Amino acid sequence: MDFDPLSLFTPQASNEQDEVLEVVDVVDMTDDILISDDDSHLQPLHILDLPLLQLKPNGEALLTILCMLAPNQVYNFSNDNSITDEAETIDVKQAFEDKGLQEATIEEGLKWLKINCPRFDSKVKVACIPNLSEALRKQYEGEYNGYLTRIISNDLLWIEDEDIKARIYKETALRISENCGRTAQPEIVRKIAIANLDKYFSSESGPYIKLKEPSLTSDNLGLKTWGSSLILANRLVNNDKDYILGEVLELGSGTGLVGIVSSILGHNTTLTDLPEITPNLKVNVDLNNILHSQVHDLDWTDPSSFVQKMGNITYHTILISDPIYSSKHPYWVVNMINQFLSRDKSARVLIQLPLRPKFENERETLWKLFDENGYIEEEKEIEDGYDDFGEMKFCFKKYTRGETTDSK
């Protein structure tokens, strides 16, 4: 028999009363969670909220999350990804339609998400992802890119549907490029809102002008909407009678914002640019159902094809925004103005330029050429603005024909 040391211990007598413990209620874990979950869909996203590849999410679940992580349409020069008071009443159906997701895909994806990804266990929570995705990308940039990289480098062998798998890879690649700066971003559709535009124009989605912008490349800068065009368009909408007169020609239309606004205001407007730019320009004119407009190729170095098609036509108003990208552009711009601006003294040129550093000489050359060719500067204003690349100052000028130009 083993020795027990406690057998030699005799406790002292105590006069204290026995302590009686209160009965504690045990919470039934099957009951509803005590903490309110009403606004959980508005809480910031964490990278760990996303489906784990180790859990082998079905193709529909992974595709749904990837599509909903896409940025919302760009409004002017910012993403509409902010959380507002209206976020709680988000149009769930519209949110999914905007991302190109079908009902069957969402339903099948939710079957997996409800079990394995409680952060997205309802349609409302999934529909709110676009409003939260920008903060996720900025706060967890490295982890976000790493998550996407793991998807695109994974064989996804558990997903048997090859069509879904191909779309998963495509959406993943798009999400990566969207997070690599404007020049690397894929095609976007930008919505332009201008004060008082609703007096003249309203589409099915509201008083917005939609502009399709393909991927930005250095040799096709005209496929991008620049800050100058928005500022000039705003001036035209709110001061139309002071600026536009008669037939209108826009030089270097790019995505077409200024020319489209001129057309919306009721002026017959010819939008022009290089042959590689005008196909997208025509898409934007059609996208907004614009009347009073036509699109044509016009090469500033050789306008012969334009003249052959249009004849020796002149215009009472010429619109130009942000046309200077090389030392040759000032000469080409003024040559086009000399050729296509009406000889009437009331004919005018409306030009908007960003005051970019390192382009001072080109701007001075342009202003000098206006003076040398007899144009009169009637108005000048320096104003603040911005585009995708940040804040900047812009210069607006209005020129008219001088007395000496009538005989040219």
Q: What are the residue boundaries of the structural domains of the chain, listed by start?
A: 40-180, 188-405
What mean pLDDT do residues 151-160 have? 96
Residue 36 has pLDDT above 70, yes or no: no
Neighbouring residues of 56: CB distance < 8 A, sequence distance ≥ 6: 158
Residue 394 has pLDDT above 90, yes or no: yes
Residue 216 has pLDDT above 70, yes or no: no
Confidence grade of residue 10 (pLDDT, cut at 50, 70, 90): low
Confidence grade of residue 124 (pLDDT, cut at 50, 70, 90): very high
What mean pLDDT do residues 100-118 have? 95
Check: CB of residue 87 under 8 Å from CB of residue 131: yes
* % the chain with pLDDT above 90: 61
Average pLDDT, the chain: 86
List, in sequence order, every residue forming a beta bridge with 5; answer none if it has no partner.
none
Confidence grade of residue 201 (pLDDT, cut at 50, 70, 90): confident
What mean pLDDT do residues 164-181 have? 89
Question: Dihedral of CA 145/150/153/155: which sign?
Answer: negative
- Cα maximum dimension of the chain: 131
What pTM does this model have? 0.70
What mean pLDDT do residues 239-245 have? 88
What mean pLDDT do residues 8-25 have? 64
Q: Alpha-carbon distance 272 to 303, whole Å? A: 11
Q: Alpha-carbon distance 92 to 125, whole Å? A: 9
188-405: CATH number: 3.40.50.150
Residue 82 has pLDDT above 80, yes or no: no
